[in-house]
Each structure stands twice: as C-alpha cells, then as structure tokens.
C-alpha cells in the first residue's frame, strides 16, 4: 500500500485501470496467409509506414505500466494501478520479445527490450504499485459465447499467464476483467460465471455501472465508489462474489486527459458524497481506459495523471492510490457491506450488448460459433469414448479448440465493418477444417 498516511485518515482512493488487448488476424505478407497477432502484423510493415509507427506506439503503451510502476517506487510517489491483458496479447508480447522486436522501442526513457522480463521485474519489486487482473484468452464477449468455451478461455488465460510469469505471480491474480465489461442478464449464466471464477481462485471482478440495478436511496457514489456483493441462483445453488464498479465519469475524464489535480478533486468530491450518505469507508474511484487507444493514454497519462496524482497525494492526508485488491484487503477484509442486483438485460462498458450481438452479420457469426463449438464437443466425446488419447490427437484437439475460441474474439464483431467480419468468417472456416480432422479421427 503506497501511502505515507494512516489508514483511518484516507477518505478516497484513486485506482486507475488500463485494459490491454490485440486480437489475432489472418494476413498474407506474400508467403501465404497465416494467423498472427495484430501487433506482429503492424510491426512487420517497413520503417516509416503508418502501420509500423502505430505498432511502435502500441508497444510503448504496453510497456508503460511496468516502467511507471517502477518509477512510482523510485520517485517515492503514491501511485498505483491495475491492468489486464488478453491472453492473445500476452502470447504475442512474449513471441515478439523473444524475436527482439522491442530492442529499439523506448518507453518512459527506457529501452523496452524484453517486455515480459520487464513485467516480471515490476510484479516482483512493485506489487503494491502494479496489479494484474485475469481475463479470457481470446477476449471473447462472455454474454455471446457457449458456457463451456467461457470456462475454457478463462482457464487458458491462467495457463498462459503462469507459463510467462510463474505460479507465484498467478497466485496474486485475484481480480477478473470480463472482456468489454460484458455481464450476463441471465441469472443462471451469471451464477455459472461466478462459480467458474471462484474455482480458479478469483476473489472479485469489475463490472460496469450499466449492469447494476439502482438500489433505493443509493447515490451514484454509493453505487460506483464502494464494493458490493452480487448474487445469482443456478437452480437451488446460490453463488455470490465481490464486485467493484467502474467509475463512469472518472473513466471518461481519464481517457480525454485528466491532470493529477483534477483526479484528486474528483476523488474528494466522491468522498464528500459518500460522507453525506453516512458511509465511512473511503471512496474507491476506478477510472477504466484502454491502455493503447488515444494519444493521451499512450503518452500523457503516466506523467500528467499517474505520477502527478501521486505527488498530490503525498501532500494530502485524505487521498491516496492503491491497487483494487489492496483497497479491498485494507478496508473490507470480511467482504462488502452492501449487495446489488444485476439488471435483467446485463450490461457492458458502453451500456448494452448491441455492438457484439445485434445485426444480421453478428447474429449469423454467433450462431455459427455455437455450431462449431457443439461439433467440437461432440467429436471430443467420441474420441474419449473410443479411448483415443494419442499425443498427436490431443495436439490436434487443442488446435481445434483454440481455433474455435479465436472465432469468439470480440473485435471481429464489435467494429461492424467488412474487414473484421471477414476475420470472423475466415476463423470459422479454419475452425471447421480443424474440427473435420477430429471428426475423421473419431470415426475411425
């Protein structure tokens, strides 16, 4: 907990959160089409091209949290943040680090070099400044994917993270980011998600304000700036989990360009709102932003907001910055004091589900995703019933499973244009080809 003041002096906690993701894409550089990370695709263009320059800007954005968490410690300022990466981006960052792609990329005055090594160091030396939350491997929009794939993608993310950073680092991954903050309205599916998260050791997750019913008499601050329980029933079983809520206004201001003083003033305002409601726990203001999108988030945020707020906090006993898990452990060791209900329609970071589920193309893609997922599940059952467990078959099965998960990448439908829809259809074709090989083996 990077704070120089006593616990009971704190009135408000600023917890910026940066979300990081790049999808896999099908691309042909003249040697045949293949699936690659979108960051790799951008960096493969020649020096001086718009694609290469964009890729290098993204590289700096991905390195910044680790670089500036270390800077926060070395400068002695009170600055912390929580981040999440999609599994596909983590894998791509590891591959690009190994190939030397970041050897000439600088972030915060440092040469990035091996970005995975950079994060290993930051997670070890600055765990009170930098928290990593878990997510789904291929950044699937949870309300639109088969439940079995949801659990598989959550597990695959953890396996990827542990392979890169080790089991000890994985044990400190306590929070969960639902991609695009997509939350179910269906209570049984929500109960299933909570059960899955608890099975893998998650203690809390972040949800959007749009997913929360307004409890009678609750102010905006009491909903957005305090943790809560959510509960859901699946038959006779009841599941519950701690949730934190993204601060809507702070998120918008953070993306557009928020000074440290403005962040401090916003936090004090939320603290006064809670105090007027008779709430004694400090306000928790989680500003959520994409870490790589927008010029301010890529370049200005860490100096002008992150470190600047930390300097403000060093001279104000009422405010500080913490990771989300540190805040929960410090002020709610026995869990939240209030419960909220999830709206029947659920929610997302932009309100509803339209960008991922509505329209002819999206509905067709979702329908075919469910079809290929069911085909793969049936073929796998036939394989296991025949006790066909040869390594080659298991490797083929894993490739088919990953191919299906890739079809579920949220970017393929979110942008609503020909290129990204085309990526979905190409991925579905690849998944069918993989499944056909499994079905052939199962039928032998």
The pLDDT tens digits for 68-108 are 999 999 999 999 999 999 999 999 999 999 999 888 887 77
Please indicate, yes or no, whether residues 281 and 405 belong to a single structural domain of this protein: no
- C-alpha distances (whole Å) from 187 to each of 136, 341, 367 are 20, 10, 21
Q: Which three-class secondary structure state does DSSP give residue 198?
A: helix
Contact 325, 175 (CB under 8 A): yes
Tell which residue, 288, 284, 278, 263, has the closest CA to residue 330: 284
* 236 and 196 fall within a common domain: yes
> Are 264 and 400 in the same domain?
no
Q: Do 150 and 215 belong to one domain?
A: yes
Task: List, for residues 282-302, the tens digit of each pLDDT value.
Answer: 999 999 999 999 889 988 999
Burial readout 257-296 (b: 16 or more C-beta within 10 A, e: otherwise): ebebebbbebbbebbebbeeeebebbbbbbbbbebbebeb
Q: What are the pLDDT digits (tens) for 324-373?
A: 999 999 999 999 999 999 999 999 999 999 999 999 999 999 999 999 99
Q: How confident is the model at residue 390 (pLDDT cuts 50, 70, 90)?
A: low
The predicted structure's pLDDT at residue 444: 61
Would residue 354 count as lying in a domain? Answer: no
Task: Annotate 244-297 with DSSP letters as a single string.
Answer: EE--HHHHHHHHHH--HHHHHHHHHHHHHHHHHTT--SPEEE--EEESSSSHII
The whole-number pLDDT of residue 388 equals: 61
Residues 240 and 109 in one domain: yes
The verdict on residue 346 lying in a domain is no
Tokens of 375: 């085909």
Q: Do 367 and 320 share a structural domain?
A: no
Global pTM value: 0.95
CA 187 to CA 199: how far, in whole Å? 18
Whether the pLDDT of residue 2 is over 60: the answer is: no
For the residues of 350-410, what is the DSSP string, one character each? TBSSHHHH-SHHHHHHHHHHHHHHHHHHHHHHHHHHTT---HHHHHHHHHHHHHHHHHTBT
108 conformational bin, left if phi > 0, alpha if psi -120 to 50, beta if neither: left
- What is the token pair recorded at 215? 């409890």
Q: Has residue 135 got a pLDDT over 60?
A: yes
- By mean pLDDT, which of 36-50, 105-119, 207-221 is the weakest? 105-119
**Structural domain span for residue 123:** 7-331
pLDDT (mean) for 119-125: 96
The number of folded domains in the chain is: 2
Same-domain check for residues 294 and 432: no
Average per-residue pLDDT for the chain: 93
348, 208 Cβ separation under 8 angstroms: yes
- Taking 80 as the threshold, does the pLDDT of residue 59 lie above it? yes
């Amino acid at each position: 907990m990077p704070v120089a003041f006593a616990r009971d002096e704190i009135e408000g906690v600023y917890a910026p959160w940066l979300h990081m993701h790049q999808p896999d894409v099908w691309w042909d550089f003249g040697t045949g089409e293949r699936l690659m990370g979108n960051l790799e695709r951008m960096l493969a263009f020649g020096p001086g091209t718009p694609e290469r320059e964009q890729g290098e800007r993204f590289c700096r954005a991905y390195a910044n949290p680790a670089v500036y968490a270390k800077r926060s410690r070395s400068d002695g300022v009170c600055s912390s943040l929580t981040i999440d990466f999609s599994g596909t981006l983590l894998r791509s960052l590891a591959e690009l680090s190994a190939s030397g792609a970041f050897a000439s990329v600088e972030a915060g005055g440092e040469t990035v070099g091996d970005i995975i090594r950079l994060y290993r160091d930051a997670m070890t030396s600055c765990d009170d400044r930098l928290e990593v939350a878990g997510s789904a491997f291929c950044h699937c929009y949870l309300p639109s994917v088969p439940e079995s794939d949801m659990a598989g993608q959550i597990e695959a993310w953890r396996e990827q993270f542990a392979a890169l950073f080790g089991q000890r680092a994985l044990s400190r991954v306590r929070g969960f980011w639902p991609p695009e903050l997509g939350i179910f309205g269906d209570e049984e599916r929500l109960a299933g998600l909570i059960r899955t998260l608890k099975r893998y050791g998650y203690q809390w997750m972040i949800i959007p304000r749009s997913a929360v019913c307004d409890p009678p008499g609750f102010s905006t601050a009491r909903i957005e700036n305090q943790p809560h329980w959510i509960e859901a029933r699946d038959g006779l079983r009841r599941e519950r989990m701690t949730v934190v809520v993204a601060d809507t206004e702070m998120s918008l201001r953070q993306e557009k360009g928020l000074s440290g003083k403005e962040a401090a003033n916003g936090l004090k305002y939320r603290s006064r709102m809670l105090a007027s409601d008779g709430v004694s726990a400090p306000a928790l203001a989680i500003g959520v932003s994409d870490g790589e999108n927008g010029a301010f988030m890529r370049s200005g945020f860490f100096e002008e907001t992150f470190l600047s707020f930390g300097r403000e906090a060093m001279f104000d006993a009422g405010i500080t910055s913490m990771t989300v898990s540190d805040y929960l452990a410090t002020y709610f060791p026995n869990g939240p004091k209030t419960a909220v209900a999830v709206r029947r329609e659920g929610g997302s970071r932009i309100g509803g589900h339209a960008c991922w589920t509505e329209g002819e193309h999206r509905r067709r893609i979702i329908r075919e995703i469910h079809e290929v997922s069911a085909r793969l599940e049936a073929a796998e059952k036939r394989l296991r019933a025949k006790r066909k467990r040869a390594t080659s078959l298991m490797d083929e099965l894993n490739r088919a499973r990953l191919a299906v998960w890739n079809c579920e990448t949220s970017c393929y439908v979110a942008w609503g244009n020909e290129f990204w829809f085309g990526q979905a259809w190409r991925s579905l074709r690849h998944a069918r080809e993989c499944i056909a090989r499994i079905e052939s083996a199962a039928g032998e």
